[in-house]
């Protein structure tokens, strides 16, 4: 059974890669989008293009997806989940650091999706078969609040709202240095790092709009605690923005936070930071509109233990 999808490129997507555009606008992973493109199942204005093709405003994308009538069931994963709220439409949870959200290369079975399917079998057919119920993601090493859809109607509403940036997503992060002001906005383009395809960069000539609002909550010598609001939802957005500003997230293994630990003057703090193994960043607050009732809802997660302990150490050294 084939499903045909037609998408029009809007102004905000001008300059985006074809595979990135598809993964953002169709329920599929970027690798799945690349596979479709490679098979010739995607046309741009009637022409088959490569995954790296840059889109322009007004172009029309035509996608043909072959759907199996009997998709295979994912393996279940027995993992306790910190559920903050649940009803017949949504599940809200506090994802722990270290847990991958959905199956992918290197981890097919022990992910959040596998754990969700064990507890909520009804989500197995919701949305993308490769990541059922998932309407947004957190990095593996980032903890915090996530919402998951339990039925297709809820999925469609939530996914649409995330694409339009209608939900409130607020994070807290410990970063290096002082921002120089009490609050501000970071507004850049963002795309793959030209020298490392596993990373993103805001120091690019072309890319997609990325906006992060921030304010300072607390400061110590060499460190700041920030509250950050996502106005857009680009991959690694907060981590990239802070790193490119010269204030990487503490202990970030990918964007300079780990390397910067060598500059910490206090030996106790330096040793603690070097022992962390993950970025000091978590999704603190999520505000959504309930997909069925229209009620405005807000959920928060407690600060993770490793981040809390580091803040206590910083407080004790002032």
Tens of pLDDT along 41-84?
999 999 999 999 999 988 999 988 775 444 456 788 999 999 99
- Mapped onto helix, strand or coil, the DSSP state of residue 173 is strand
Buried b (16+ CB within 10 A) or exposed e, 278-295: bbbbbbbbbebbbbeeee
What is the rounded distance in angstroms from the CA atom of residue 299 to the CA atom of residue 170?
A: 10
Summarize the confidence of residues 10-39 as an average pLDDT: 82
Enumerate the domain spans of the chain: 2-66, 170-283+306-316
| pTM for the predicted model, two decimal places | 0.80
The pLDDT of residue 304 is above 50: yes
Question: Any idea which architecture 2-66 has in CATH?
Answer: Roll (3.10)
Summarize the confidence of residues 158-177 as an average pLDDT: 94
Give 51's Cβ-side CA count (13 Å radius): 13
Do β-strands 296-300 and 143-149 pair in parallel, antiparallel, or remain unpaired? unpaired
Tens of pLDDT along 179-205?
999 999 999 999 888 888 789 999 999
Q: What percent of the chain is predicted at pLDDT more than 70?
A: 96
The pLDDT of residue 29 is above 80: no
Which residues does the annotation mark as catalytic?
A: 139
Count Cβ atoms below 10 Å from residue 198 Cβ, excluding itself: 8
The pLDDT of residue 249 is above 80: yes
pLDDT averaged over every residue in the chain: 91
Among positive and negative, which fits the CA dihedral 203, 206, 212, 214? Answer: positive
What is the rounded distance in angstroms from the CA atom of residue 6 to the CA atom of residue 297?
A: 33
The pLDDT of residue 1 is above 60: no
Burial category of 86 from C-beta neighbours within 10 Å (exposed 0-12, middle 13-18, buried 19 and up): middle
The pLDDT of residue 2 is above 80: no
Cα diameter, the chain = 65
Task: Grade residue 27 by pLDDT with cuts at 50, 70 and 90.
Answer: low
pLDDT value for 109: 82
Tens of pLDDT along 141-151?
999 999 999 99
What is the rounded distance in angstroms from the CA atom of residue 164 to the CA atom of residue 266?
A: 44
pLDDT value for 43: 94
- Give φ, ψ of 22 to 5 degrees: -65, -45
pLDDT value for 92: 98
- Topology of the domain comprising 170-283+306-316: Pseudouridine synthase (3.30.2350)
What is the rounded distance in angstroms from the CA atom of residue 251 to the CA atom of residue 275?
A: 9
């Amino acid at each position: 059974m084939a499903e045909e999808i037609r998408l029009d490129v809007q102004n905000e997507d001008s300059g985006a890669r074809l595979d990135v555009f598809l993964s953002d606008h169709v329920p599929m992973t970027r690798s799945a989008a690349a596979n479709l493109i490679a098979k010739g199942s995607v046309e741009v204005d009637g022409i088959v293009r490569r995954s790296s093709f840059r889109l322009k405003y007004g172009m029309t994308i035509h996608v043909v997806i072959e759907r199996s009538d009997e998709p295979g069931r994912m393996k279940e994963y027995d993992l306790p989940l910190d559920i903050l709220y649940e009803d017949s439409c949504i599940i809200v949870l506090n994802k722990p650091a270290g847990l991958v959200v959905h199956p992918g290369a290197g981890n097919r079975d022990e992910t959040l999706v596998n754990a969700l399917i064990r507890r909520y079998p009804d989500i197995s057919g919701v949305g993308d078969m490769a990541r059922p119920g998932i309407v947004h993601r957190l990095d593996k090493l980032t903890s915090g609040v996530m919402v998951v859809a339990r039925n297709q109607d809820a999925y469609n509403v939530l996914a649409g709202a995330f694409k339009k940036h209608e939900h409130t997503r607020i994070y807290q992060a410990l970063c290096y240095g002082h921002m120089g002001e009490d609050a501000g906005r970071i507004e850049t383009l963002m795309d793959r790092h030209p020298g490392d395809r596993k990373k993103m960069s805001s120091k690019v000539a072309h890319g997609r709009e990325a906006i992060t609002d921030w304010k300072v909550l607390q400061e110590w010598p060499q460190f700041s605690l920030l509250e950050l609001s996502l106005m857009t939802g680009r991959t690694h957005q907060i981590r990239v923005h802070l790193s490119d500003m010269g204030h990487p997230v503490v202990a970030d293994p990918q964007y300079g936070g780990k390397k910067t630990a060598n500059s910490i003057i206090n030996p106790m703090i330096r040793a603690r930071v070097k022992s962390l193994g993950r970025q000091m960043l978590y999704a603190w607050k999520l505000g959504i509109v309930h997909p069925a009732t229209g009620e405005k809802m807000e959920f928060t997660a407690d600060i993770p233990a490793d981040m809390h302990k580091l803040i206590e150490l910083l407080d004790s050294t002032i």
